[in-house]
Structure 1
C-alpha cells in the first residue's frame, strides 16, 4: 500500500518539477516507505517543509480563477474561461459535461471536474484543471480553474495569453448565449451568489413582430433599445452609468409582461425578475443588484403593489429604525445611486397599473428615462393579433371590428381570448367564427348611446 502511494506521489512531483523532480521524487519515495516508522510530529514537519521546497524549486506556476469574486459575486473571468475551454475540451479531455443550447440546436461541451485540458498559444503550452473545494462542510462546493505553466513564461501568460482567453471566451459565450430568467429567493447564506438568484432558461416566444401595438410605437421603442445597446462609449464620455430605465404603465391585460419578453429577445438580454416583497431591507436590495450581470433587464412588476412607495421619503432616523424594510430611498439608490454603477449595460423596468399612485421621485426622467403607455387594443394592434392567431391579413368583418374598437375599451388580452377557437366546430371556418365571437363581445362591452348620455 505504501509503495502504491509513493509511486502516485512520485508521478505528481515529476510532473511539477521537471529535471529537478527526479531527485525530489526519490526522496519522497523513500520517505513514503519509511514514514510509518517516524513519529507523527516528525512526519507532519517533513511533509510541511518538503512541500515548501517543492514550491520553491518547481519550474511551474499556478494561477487560480474562482467562480466567485472577492465580493462574492460571480467572477466574469471564470465564465469566460469556461466558454473558452469548451472549444479545447473535445481535443484533450476524456470526460465532459454536455449542455444543449436550444437556439443553436447543438451540444456545448465543457470541462468536467478534475479533468485536465492542455492548451497551446504561440508555442507555449499550459495546463487547465477545473477543481472544487469546500471551505466548511456545511457550505456548497466552490469551483475554480487552475492554470499551470512554466515559470519562464510568466509575463507572457499573465499578459497576452490570459487576455486572449478572456476575450475569446466572452466572444464564444455571446455567440452561444442562451437567455436566462432569474428570480430572487429569501436568502440565508448571503455569501453565496448562487442562492440569491434561482434561474431557468428564458424561452418566451414574444417578439416585437408578434406584439399587439401600433407599428410606429414599436419602431420607436426598438430604435431606443438599439441606440442604448450601442452607446457604451457615449455613456463613458458623459460620465454616466450605462443603464436605462423603462416605465410600462396601463390597465391589466395590455401586454406589459409581453413587452418585457419582447425587449429581452430583441436585445438578447437575461431577465432578473425582482420580487421586492421578499427582500428584507435596503442592504439586501443593494446586494441583489451586485449579483446581476451585464446585458440584463432588471424587472419589478406591479411596483405600486410591491411596497408602500406612494408616500414621502422617510427621514434617516426613521429608515434606520425600520431595518427590515425596503424604503423608497433605498429603491431610489438602487436605481441611480452609487451602487447602481457597479455593472454595465442594464435596463431597469417598472410596470404599474396605476402610475398616478407612484411617488414622482421614483419615475422622473433620469430614473425611468422612457415612459411607455400600454393602452387598450386599437385596430392596428388587432390586425397583429389576427395574424398571430388566425393567420389572416384581411377579412370582410375587419371594418366592423375597426369601428367597434374605436368606441370600446378592450385590452389586447381580451381580444386575443375572443379570437381563440373554443370548440372543434369552429375550426371548420375558424376566421369567420372567431371574428364573430369578437364582434359579439365588443357589442356587449360597448355602452349604448342612452347609457353614455346618462353617465355624462
Structure 2
C-alpha cells in the first residue's frame, strides 16, 4: 500500500499538469476563434454535442413532422388520430371541445403543444410530445408555424418501434378515420394562403337524395367498388382516384349528391374555387396540402376559369359580347390557371399526389367545357342531374310527407310530363305546410301555373 501511494504524483505535479492543459485549451480556443468562422465553429460544436448525446444518452427520438416532402404527412395524421385514444392519467394537459351546441356527452380530445403522453406497447415505454416552431417563411399549410410530434424511446427499442409500434398506430388510425363522426369541409383562403376548415354537418344521404333510382344505385355501386380496389389500382399502375362530372340545370341536386357521397364514404371535402388560384404552380401547391380519403370539389367549373374552355370558344364568346380578348387576359403578375395546368392535376403526373381521392366537377353547362377535360381518365363518370321525374317526386313525397301513395299522385304524374321542374322547386312546395291534402293541391296548382306559362311562351 505504501509503495502504491509513493508512486502517485504529487499535488504540485497535478496542479502543474492541469495548468498546462488549461493553457493549451485556452490557446486552442483562441486560435479556433481567430482562424475559423463563427458558422463553422457552431457547426463543429453542435456535431460534437450531438455525438456526446448519442453515445451517453440511453434514449432515441423519432420526429414526425406535419408535412413530408411537400405533401401532408400521413404518419403525422395517424399519430394525431391515435394519441387521443391512449390519453389517461399520464397526460399533464388536454384540449377539449365540441362541434355541437348541445351538451356533449363525449367531448373531442386534442393534444396541446408541450403536453407529454406515455404509452406502453409490447413491454416498451414510450413518450409522446407535440412541438410547435416558428418558421421564417410561411407556406400554404402552416401559416408561419411548423408542428411535429416527438416519440422518445430506448435506443434498444428503435427497431421494434419501426417494425411493430408504428404499424399498430397506422392500423388504429385507419379504423378510426373510416368511422369518424365529424367530417370537415375546407375552403382555400387566398388572403391567408391556406385551407380553412369547418365542421361539415350536411344531412343529405343517398336515402333522402332526390335522384333517379337507377342512377343512384349505379353511383353507390361505383363508389363501393372504388374504395375496395387499392390493390387493383396498384397492379394496373394507376393513381387511386376517381373523377366525377355532375352536370345539369341549377337546383337539380348536384351539391346534395356531393354531400351524400361525403357522408357515405366519410370523406372530408376540399372546396376549391379556381378563380382564387393565381397560377398553375399555386394550384399544385394547394393540391399537395390536401389529405387522403377526401373529395376535391370544383363547383361551376365553366364559370370558375377560362382554362376549362379552349381559346376558340373563348374568342367566339368575346366576339358575341363585343369584348377584346386582351381585356380578358389575366395580368402578368396574376396569370391564372391554364388548361394544361388543370389537365395535369386531373390525370397528369401531379394527379398521383395521394390515395383514395375523388375529384368532382360540377357545371350547369357541360357544352362550355373543353373536350380535353372530359375524356376518359380525367372524368371517369358522367352524371346528368335532370329535372324532376315522377319517380323522383315519389322519393321527395316519402321524405317530406312520409307517404308512398295518394289519390292525387296520378294528376301530378301527368303534369310532370308536361313541364320541367327541378327537385329543389318540388321540395320548396312540399315544405309549405303540414296539411297533406292542402300541400298536394297547392303543388298541383303550382304545376298547372307552369303549364300555362309554357303555353303562353310557345304562342
> Normalising by structure 1, what TM-score?
0.80
User: Matched residues in 1 for 2:271 and 2:455: separation?
Assistant: 46
Tell me, in whole angstroms, the C-alpha distance in 2 between the residues paired with 1:51 and 1:366: 51
Higher RCO, Cα 8 Å, sep 6+: 2
- CA offset at residue 158 of structure 1? 2.8
Whole-Å separation in 2 of the counterparts to 1:451 and 1:266? 44
1:66 and 2:65 aligned? yes
In the alignment of these two chains, the number of paired residues is: 397
Corresponding residue number in structure 1 for 2:284 = 286
Contact 2:186 2:198 (C-alpha < 8 Å) held by counterparts:
yes
Q: Find 2:161's aligned residue among 150, 154, 157.
A: 157
SS of residue in 2 equivalent to 1:198: strand
The equivalences for 1:379-390 within 5 A come to: 379-390=390-401
- Which residues of 2 match residues 34-433 of structure 1 at below 5 A? 53-71=52-70, 73-100=71-98, 106-136=106-136, 140-187=144-191, 195-308=193-306, 309-312=308-311, 324-421=335-432, 426-427=433-434, 430-433=435-438
Structure 1 runs not aligned, ≥5 long: 1-40, 189-194
Tell me how far 1:343 sits from its aligned partner: 0.7
Structure 2 residue 447 is the aligned partner of structure 1 residue 442: yes
> SS in structure 2 opposite 1:90?
coil
The offset of 1:142, in angstroms, is 2.1
Q: Report if aligned partners of 2:295, 2:360 keep a CA contact under 8 Å in 1.
A: yes
**Which deviates more, 287-296 or 333-342?**
287-296
Distance in 2 (CA, whole Å) between partners of 1:449 and 1:368 is 35
In structure 2, C-alpha distance between the alignment counterparts of 1:449 and 1:101, rounded to whole Å: 47
Q: Secondary structure at the match of 2:185?
A: strand
Residues 240-280 of structure 1 show CA distances to partners (whole Å, capped at 9, x for unaligned) of 11111111111111111111111111111111111001100
Preserved CA contact (<8 Å) 1:90 1:109: no
| 8 A contact 1:319–1:327 mirrored in 2 | no
Q: Which residue in the other structure is 2:324 paired with?
A: none
Q: Specify the structure having the higher radius of gyration (Cα).
A: 2
- 1:23 is aligned to none
Q: What CA distance in whole angstroms lies between the structure 1 residues aligned with 2:304 and 2:176?
A: 38
For residues 306-338 of structure 1, give each alpha carbon's deviation from its aligned partner in whole angstroms, at most 9, with x where no partner exists.
111322499xxx999786111111111111110
Question: Contact between 1:89 and 1:111, CA under 8 Å: does it hold in 2?
Answer: no
User: What RMSD over aligned residues (CA atoms) do the two structures have, in Å?
Assistant: 3.0
| Cα distance in 2 between the residues matched to 1:322 and 1:340 | 26
More displaced, 131-140 or 334-343? 131-140
Instruction: With the length of structure 2 as denominator, give the TM-score of the two structures.
Output: 0.79
- In 2, Cα distance between the equivalents of 1:137 and 1:368? 37
Q: Which moved more, 1:352-361 or 1:442-451?
A: 442-451
Is the partner of 2:87 in helix, strand or coil?
A: helix
Change (3 A) 1:295 1:84: same
